[in-house]
């Protein structure tokens, strides 16, 4: 019985460790997503500034199609940044789900260990009870006589 509880405890500890690892991974994924999105934003800002500078140095006014190109580029840059943040959020959420699943498995392992130990105890008690019944039947001549007599009576009919 104690072995089952100890085994369940070890399994539960393993699941809890997996949950802690998944929590750390979720946090790191979120932080990396923010970092990468900020890098993308700074890079996009530099590219847009460079584009503006090139237009102006070539004597192109920032109006009409030049401004349309800059606005489209800014929109694309914003979408890239949002995609990075979204991807990081999805990854972080997946890690959090794994963490929750591992915690649930840890609880189930402990419950299973206690139930297994309880079942072993019940089976052991039942086995002792049956053994005691058999000993009582063997050593009680009156019970043997009653059984023999009822069998003989049933055989008559």
Q: Are the CB atoms for 143 and 136 separated by under 8 Å?
A: yes
pLDDT number for residue 63? 87
| C-alpha count within 13 angstroms, C-beta hemisphere, residue 144 | 8
> Smallest Cα–Cα separation from 80: which of 38, 46, 52?
38
Q: Cβ(16)–Cβ(102) under 8 Å?
A: yes
Asked if residues 29 and 86 have their Cβ atoms less than 8 Å apart, the reply is: no
Residue 90: CB atoms within 10 A of its CB come to 12
Distance CA 104, CA 89 (A): 22
pLDDT, tens digit (0-9, with 9 covering 90-100), for 79-121? 999 999 999 999 999 999 999 999 988 888 878 777 766 666 5
pLDDT of residue 12: 82
| Positions of the chain with pLDDT under 70 | 1-3, 5, 116-157
If one counts every other C-beta atom within 10 angstroms of the C-beta of residue 121, the result is 12
pLDDT of residue 112: 72
DSSP the chain: -HHHHHHHHHHHHHHHHHHHHHHHHHHHHHHHHHHHHHHHHHHHHHHHHHHHHHHHHTT--SSTHHHHHHHHHHHHHHHHHHHHHHHHHHHHHHHHHHHHHHHHHHHHHHHHHHHHHHHHHHHHHHHHHHHHHHHHHHH-HHHHHHHHHHHHHHHH-
């Amino acid at each position: 019985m104690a072995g089952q509880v100890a085994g369940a405890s070890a399994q539960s500890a393993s699941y809890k460790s997996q949950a802690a690892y998944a929590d750390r991974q979720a946090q790191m994924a979120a932080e990396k997503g923010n970092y990468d999105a900020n890098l993308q934003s700074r890079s996009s800002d530099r590219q847009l500034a460079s584009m503006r500078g090139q237009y102006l140095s070539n004597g192109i006014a920032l109006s009409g199609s030049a401004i349309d190109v800059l606005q489209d580029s800014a929109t694309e840059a914003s979408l890239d940044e949002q995609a990075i943040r979204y991807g990081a959020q999805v990854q972080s959420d997946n890690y959090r789900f794994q963490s929750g699943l591992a915690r649930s498995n840890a609880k189930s392992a402990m419950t299973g260990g206690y139930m297994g130990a309880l079942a072993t105890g019940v089976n052991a008690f039942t086995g002792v009870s049956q053994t005691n019944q058999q000993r009582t039947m063997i050593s009680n001549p009156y019970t043997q006589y009653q059984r023999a007599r009822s069998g003989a009576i049933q055989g008559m009919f």
